Amino acid sequence: MKEVMLQTKKLSKHYKEANVVRKVDMTLYKGDIYGLIGNNGAGKTTLIRMLTKLIAPSSGEYSLLRPDIKVGAVIESPALYMDMTAEENLKYSGIQKNCYSKEKVAGTLAFIGLENASSKQVKDFSLGMKQRLGIGMAILNEPDLLILDEPINGLDPMGIIEIRQMIQRINQELGTTLLISSHILTELELVATRYGILHEGELIQEFAGEELQTGLEDHFLKTVNRQKVAL
C-alpha cells in the first residue's frame, strides 16, 4: 500500500462572499508527480497557499506523512534577488534554511544546469533560467515534497522542456514527491503520474495517469486548456 504524503480534508477558503476553495479532499501518495489541473481562477494558487502556510484555511485541515516532512515551494514567481548572482542566491537561501555548504550550492547549480552562469547577475537571466534557479533554491534543503505553481507559465518551448526534464529528475533521482499546478493539460500529460481536477474551487475528480483519456471524456475536462507545446 502506498504511503500518503499529503492529505486534505474539506479544506476551504472564502473571502467575504466568495468561496474560492470549497471542501477539497485531495490525496498525494509518496513518489507521486501530482498534476493539479484547472483553468485560471479555479482556485489552484489559493489551495497551494494554504498547503504552504502562506494563508490560513477558513475551514478544513490537511496532514503530512510525518511531522518532520520538509516542504519546498515555488509559488507564482520565484523570490529571487536580482542584483545577486545565482550562486549568491543559493548561498543566501541555504543559510536561511540552515543547509548551506559550498558543495551543496555547486551541486545544485550543476543539477539545475546553471553552473556556467553561476557568477551572472539574476537580472540578466532569461525567464526559464530564473525559474530553474527558483526551483534550485526550493530543493536546496532536499524537501520530501515540492510544490510548484504554474512552473511553465510564460516560458518558451525550450524553457518548458528544461523545466519538464528537471521535474522528472527531481522525482526520479532525488525521490521527491511533487504537486504541480497548471492550466495546460498537454504539458502535465508528459510528467504527471496522478491528477486532480479543480473546477470553480472544487476538486471534482482524482485519477491515475493511465486513466487520463477516460477522464477526458467527462464534460468538465473539455474546458481545460490543451495548449500544444514543443515536445
Q: What is the pLDDT of residues 93-136, one digit of tens each?
A: 999 999 999 999 999 999 999 999 888 999 999 999 999 999 99
**Partners of 13 in the β-ladder:** 21
Reduce the DSSP state of residue 82 to 3 states and report it. Answer: coil
Reduce the DSSP state of residue 189 to 3 states and report it. Answer: coil
According to DSSP, residue 211 is labeled G
What is the structure's pLDDT at 21?
Answer: 95
User: Beta strands of 25-138 (E only): which ranges?
Assistant: 27-29, 33-37, 59-64, 71-74
Contacts of 149 by beta carbon, 8 Å cutoff, 6+ apart: 44, 45, 48, 73, 74, 75, 76, 181
User: Which amino acid appears at position 208 of this protein?
Assistant: A
What is the structure's pLDDT at 184?
Answer: 80
pLDDT tens digits along 41-91: 889 999 999 999 999 999 999 999 998 999 999 998 788 999 999 999 999
Containing H/E element for 102? helix 102-111
Confidence band for 194, pLDDT divided at 50, 70 and 90:
very high
- Looking at the chain, the whole-number percentage of residues with pLDDT higher than 90 is 68
CA distance 20 to 169: 33
